[in-house]
Structure 1
């Protein structure tokens, strides 16, 4: 899951580096408001925790797709048709990512 916000000056998105899976976890890590420096225009801004949005990390989906294909081929060679069950690996990863993104984006912190 990627967490990102935007610069109000240049309107570019930039990624928030954090391992927080929920907005309260991110709040505990960064606080209600935190200062970000835009790498594009150099402006320093104060952002509220609700300004951070989440989206699916496509790199993880591509890696899981590759893993699923490799596992399916290897298991097909050794076990036959039962190896096709490993083709659901990317679907499980995608479902978990969608659930995490929905949970993160749906919960908002009360502004003070």
Structure 2
């Protein structure tokens, strides 16, 4: 999904939860910091990894993003291989967590079934 700004991105996030979000700081209507804050303050989206990519590479901007809960912060220009590696890592983590919660659910069902039978 590609959003024109942070407001549109939030709408997409509620329609279909992505594995990872890439955002810039500078966007119309809602900047990347506001988007990140909204993502982290929403129970449905707070665990979605957010990668912020920005030409603002100073410590002030990086620290603000970290305080808001950014998963990764890349300065422009960035190495494409670094971005792809981070995306792959976050997607793997999300899928592992999803599988883990599913197997825990299955274990819970199995325990419940054994107790009912015993």
State the TM-score, normalizing by the size of structure 1: 0.29
Greater percentage in strand:
1
State the TM-score, normalizing by the size of structure 2: 0.28
RCO (CA 8 Å, sep 6+): is it higher in 1 or 2? 1
